[in-house]
Chain A
């Protein structure tokens, strides 16, 4: 059974690419594309779960592409770490695609294909055991991302997209240079053959550090985090959620993997990693303070949380890595949930600015619940998964004697909570602004007519649409029209199908919080695989 599964591992990449390409041939069949796209992503999820089950005991699955001997072939490797990240990636791809279908974005002819190619590229980057192949898969991830960013940005300006492509190309070029340097020193780019190479040879360490530096740009680690907030905010919320779960997190996965295998967890450089991660935590959370929109606040928190996740690799103890991996998986789910719940608000009410929103608590119980759960989980309160993640991470810092990092992590949590309360106070509490109905109506008119954000919209049409929305819902509890009422339920509401994706992810974070034992156990196996890479090397090159 296992050899068959091993031989099928390349299909994680091949199947989405093939289906994605084939779907471009049916530009008119929206439903067919959505159904096939969703089925492919669900199949990927099923495959990823199978990998988790097979690797849960610490087994490493490896397949040599085209059955060339180990060391010559490009290997595909799945250990517990790769399988876990792949599973969460597949969950996010499914949920974000579900949101795109709900919001109508998936109707655009190329979107389904782009999402599938993106998912295939991510699977390849997670499973490949070859550094040059990794570079190729990072490009496979990036190319559809450029497309998604532009097609769904719905704005006239290209600033964010241009910045995004420039930054990522620079990082990729630097990564490629690092791979070239590693080949120059070691004569191989096979990760398993490079095991421990950076400890033995300082030249390899420098070459691998070039790779790590390049990947750090993609992971948005301080001081190279600045591009994130200016690019993730310009596109559709579903794309932001998808990117937040896939791009930066793949980069984090690569940092964990390269440091564990090539550097063998060399303790010399860990202090550098701890300083950088602490600064990332602090800068990210302070960056969020002055931001005027929900999404920009969340993106800066992403930077801060990336700091938390990388503390795991900075400690490089069994407990630290376990906590870091758990944090990574928890964060992917929670962040996507937040982006999707605020995204549903943004798309329905026509603005993500804090000052343009208010009083949604009584009006949108589902979204309020989804946001509340995910926000508390992000801040690290029990009983959600964030508590398990943060608690184990802080225990790990104390255990490793890095008390200062633990204190920074705790303090930053407080500020995270403050930021979440700021969104809560401005968007969910308080009074609904008077112009919210016109704003929502304008968003609907724009979506209907396919107008960009900076194109003029017909004022009469908007007024009609706003009046119609108020007509559609009968005033509850006998409130007469026009009367000042904080619980006025007339007018625009977020459709259930837009609220569901965020709720599903919020349910997962509750599950991971209450039943954290299971995932912690799996993370422990994954961490053990990173601490002792002999099983990985054995599976790939047989020694």
Chain B
């Protein structure tokens, strides 16, 4: 149950951040989303009904190694893509849509309204 709740919270926070405008927030959102999915895969291995594989546990009921291998692979991939995205966030000109345009305060106010809507 705690696993399900954690996944839910991570997912909600991740979705919220991905919907923000700044590239860095989007990246952080994806970090949370991938964590949520990794926990989902761990949960798919049936953690609640299985024992530890070592130290006298029942081997017929040992933890499933496959989802852990999946997660290990997924973590490496997610890490590399996070690095790529972080690079994309800092290179290039500041001409993207991820920040409000620098404008007069009045216009800036309008834009902030638009964003909040």
Name A residues whose Cβ lies closer than 8 Å to a Cβ of B. Answer: 132, 135-136, 139, 142-143, 146, 150, 156-159, 161-162, 165-166, 169-170, 173, 176-177, 179-181, 183-184, 454
Contacts and interface: CB of A to CB of B under 8 A. Distances in A.
A158 B88 contact: yes
17 contacts: A139-B81, A143-B80, A150-B91, A157-B93, A158-B88, A158-B96, A159-B96, A161-B92, A162-B88, A165-B81, A165-B84, A166-B85, A180-B37, A180-B41, A180-B67, A180-B70, A183-B67
Nearest to A160: B96
Between A159, A166, A170, the greatest number of chain B beta carbons within 10 A of the residue's beta carbon is seen for A166
Contacts of A143: 80-81, 84
B12 interface: no
Nearest to A166: B26
B73 A136 contact: yes
A156 B95 CA distance: 8
A176 B81 contact: no
Contacts of A158: 88, 91-93, 96
B83 to A, nearest CB: 10
Contact of A156 (B23, B26, B93): B93
B30 A183 contact: no
Contacts of B73: 132, 136
B79 to A, nearest CB: 11
B44 A150 contact: no
Contacts of B89: 162
Interface residue range, chain B: 20 to 34
B84 A157 contact: no
A173 B33 contact: yes
Contacts of B37: 173, 176-177, 180
B92 A157 contact: yes
Interface in B1-58: 18, 23, 26, 30, 33-34, 37, 40-41, 43-46
A184 B34 CA distance: 17
Between A157, A158, A181, the greatest number of chain B beta carbons within 10 A of the residue's beta carbon is seen for A158
Nearest to B73: A136
Nearest to A158: B92
Nearest to B43: A184
A165 B80 CA distance: 12
Interface string B73-101: 11001001100110011011101111000
A161 B91 CA distance: 11
**Top 6 closest pairs, chain A to chain B, by CB:** A158-B92, A184-B44, A180-B41, A156-B93, A183-B44, A180-B40
B34 A173 contact: yes
Nearest to B30: A169
B62 interface: no
Nearest to B44: A184
Contacts of B40: 177, 180-181
B108 interface: no
Contacts of A183: 41, 44-45, 66-67, 70
Between A146, A162, A165, A176, the greatest number of chain B beta carbons within 10 A of the residue's beta carbon is seen for A176
Given A139-B77, A173-B37, A180 B44 contact: yes
Contacts of A165: 81, 84-85, 88
Interface secondary structure of B, over-half rule? helix
Contacts of B46: 184
Given A162-B23, A166-B26, A173-B33, 19 more contacts: A135-B74, A139-B77, A142-B81, A156-B92, A156-B95, A157-B92, A159-B95, A169-B85, A173-B34, A173-B37, A176-B41, A177-B40, A180-B41, A181-B44, A183-B41, A183-B44, A183-B70, A184-B44, A184-B46
Interface secondary structure of A, over-half rule? helix
Nearest to B66: A183
A348 B91 CA distance: 28
B49 to A, nearest CB: 12
A210 to B, nearest CB: 11
Nearest to B98: A162
Between A150, A169, A454, the greatest number of chain B beta carbons within 10 A of the residue's beta carbon is seen for A169
A164 B97 CA distance: 14
Between B23, B37, B45, B85, the greatest number of chain A beta carbons within 10 A of the residue's beta carbon is seen for B37
Nearest to B15: A170
A143 B77 CA distance: 9
A169 B33 CA distance: 10
Given A143-B80, A183-B66, A184-B44, A157 B88 contact: no
Contacts of A184: 43-44, 46
Nearest to A138: B77
A143 B96 CA distance: 22
Contacts of A179: 41, 70
A132 B97 CA distance: 34
A157 B95 contact: yes
Given A180-B37, A184-B43, A169 B81 contact: yes
Contacts of A156: 92-93, 95
Contacts of B85: 162, 165-166, 169
B84 A146 contact: yes
B30 A157 contact: no
B77 A136 contact: yes
Contacts of A136: 73, 77
Contacts of B93: 156-158, 454
A143 B41 CA distance: 23
Contacts of A181: 40, 44
B45 to A, nearest CB: 8
Contacts of B96: 157-159, 162
Contacts of A150: 88, 91
Between B46, B74, B95, the greatest number of chain A beta carbons within 10 A of the residue's beta carbon is seen for B74
A132 B70 contact: yes
Contacts of A177: 37, 40
A235 to B, nearest CB: 13
A194 to B, nearest CB: 14
